[in-house]
Amino acid sequence: MMAQRTIRGSATLPGTKERPFSPEVEGMLGRAEAVCAQRGAQLTALRRQVLGLILSSDVPMGAYALLDQLRKLRRGAAPPTVYRALEFLLDNNLIHRIERLNAYIGCALEPHGAGHAHGASTEACAGEHEHECNGHVHAAQFLICRSCGTAIEMDDAALEHALNKAAKAHGFTIASASIEAEGTCAKCGGRSQ
């Protein structure tokens, strides 16, 4: 399950020298920098800030919400700035795009042996998976709360296996899959009772 994260309003936003992101997010950013370095890619200051904003949010963030937050850190930030950073983060499998919401969320899984940032167990990485992420591969599976907007990333090998088995029965080969299930999270479900 993914940890809940909030961007708190203040005069100095997280992601600056004066006020870094939370220790949890700074740890994830350090691991992302290491993954990029292993791949010969560079997590620039701008890309790091965009990733940090995504990782710090309680809910998936759209590009323009990111732009609004980024402009508080960098006055000259423009839409192409954010889209280029998002493209890099997607290409390096550090974030996911949730199609249904047209928004982005940080990848909850990390390389084997490095621990999982959002409480996922290392067993979640077993089996055949859809995309490479931080040195391992997994399919994108999300539970999206209609009430609060929280998105929980899962890596359920049984669900992925069932999808692949059904596709194979129809002679179909899956090249890419993203499962987005909408409903009510436990927190919001408790409110209605």
Give residue 103's pLDDT: 95
Give residue 189's pLDDT: 86
CATH class of the region 23-191: mainly alpha
- Mean pLDDT per block of 10 residues along the chain (193 residues) reads 37 55 92 93 95 94 95 91 96 91 84 33 32 52 91 88 92 87 90 57
| Domain edges within the chain | 23-191
pTM assigned to the model = 0.72
Strand order in the sheet with 140-145: 151-154, 140-145, 178-183
3-state secondary structure string across 23-72: HHHHHHHHHHHHHHHHHCCCCCHHHHHHHHHHHHCCCCECHHHHHHHHHH
User: Which of these, 85, 101, 81, 115, lies nearest to 3 by C-alpha position?
Assistant: 115
Give residue 55's pLDDT: 94
